[in-house]
Homo-oligomer: A and B are copies of this chain.
Amino acid sequence: MKITGNAIIAQGGGPTAVINQSLVGAIQEMKKHPEIKEIYGALHGVRGIIEENFLDLRQASNENLEQVANTPCAALLSTRDKPDLEYCAKIFQIFKKHNIRYFYYIGGNDSSDTVRLVNEYAIKEQYEFKAFHIPKTIDNDLVINDHTPGFGSAAKFVAEAFMGANLETKALEGIYLGIVMGRHAGFLTAASALGRKDQTEGPHLIYLPERPFSIDSFLSDVQKVYDQYGRCVIAISEGITDENGMPIVAKLKENVTKDAHGNIELAGGELGDMLTKAIKDQLKIGRVRADTFGYLQRSFPGTVSDTDQKEARLAGQAAVKFSMMEDYQNGSVVIIRTKEYEIEYQLTELQNIAAKTKHMPEEFINQEGNNVTEAFIQYGLPLLGENFKKTTNIEAPLVNISK
């Protein structure tokens, strides 16, 4: 039996470069189904629901929607609100008030949990309701999913940044550290390797939160690479920890505070700054530079993966299609890889996604814990899209000169 009523869609959590593709994919699919009457867009995620700030999305033109799809970040604006039971009850009351029968929430694992909780109220009150979670996150850390919409574009940014850094250290020598987002999952940091042509090219070393980080092994790794190539490009996840799970940045901070007998507040680039200092002081290498990418890759319009765009769009569309099937009342859309390279969209129960974190699997990390494997490259490269191009070295022989 199909339900007739209004639909609402919202976006939550950190934005991505393609989250609006999912939004537009869902809106355009909703328009095809006469069961859906009004199409509301809640502003600022769940907050816009309880505050009843809805856009009337049927009045957005197709031309506008297509341009929005190609704009990064959340067109409906986002929120960091993480609804508890009471908050979810309030959401449900608003849904009843406005005869909202279809709820689509684009977000990470917290958003999936919100959908689950709201849906439980509907079941309890026997309110006919369909609720779907559409995945997105640049961290690529949703379980079951082969990968998540948003990751490919962020990964493309990171890969390209390291392609540039690799060329720069070749042209001008030295050591380069790039600090990449990702507190618990190392996928985005691992993406630094996706533009690499062979093992002589950077990043020569990659440190992920999945493996304990030791400053001594780090320094000895760097020395080894530097001795071999006269340069070294290093990708480091901001989330690296020691063998007890203590963040390295916290350890380093503590040391500095002790040294200075003062109360120093550190922020932003401190991990890069401190590893730079360690290399300079202990390895006596002069030219060391660290960049902290921060949030740049999250909503950067200039270098979006075309594959990621397409997949994000179809993920939004898939959620609405599932919601129109009698067999499905609720769920989270997941991306499953079926071939090299093809994917399909399936539906899993909301509780399977909520509050769980996927990590880099063992086979993607080398034994020494300082690089990724070929299996990761095979996994990640298709996600960067057709528009991802590797760099080219000049191919000409040296002139034979007797000096």
Contacts and interface: CB of A to CB of B under 8 A. Distances in A.
A245 interface: no
A299 B168 contact: yes
Contacts of A61: 395
A262 to B, nearest CB: 3
Contacts of A98: 401
Given A55-B398, A171-B15, A391 B164 contact: no
A295 B289 CA distance: 9
B72 A164 contact: yes
Nearest to A55: B396
Given A15-B171, A71-B391, A266-B273, A164 B298 contact: yes
B396 A78 contact: no
Contacts of A126: none
Interface residues of A, number: 89
A74 B171 contact: yes
Interface string A1-36: 000000000010011000000000000000000000
Contact of A165 (B57, B58, B299): B299
A201 B198 CA distance: 43
A182 to B, nearest CB: 16
A55 B44 CA distance: 58
Nearest to A61: B395
A338 interface: no
A68 B394 contact: yes
Contacts of A71: 167, 391-393
A171 B299 CA distance: 11
A272 interface: yes
Nearest to A159: B302
B265 A268 contact: no
Given A264-B264, A269-B273, A164 B73 contact: yes
The 7 lowest CB-CB distance pairs between A and B, nearest first, are: A269-B269, A260-B262, A302-B303, A73-B167, A164-B299, A67-B392, A291-B294
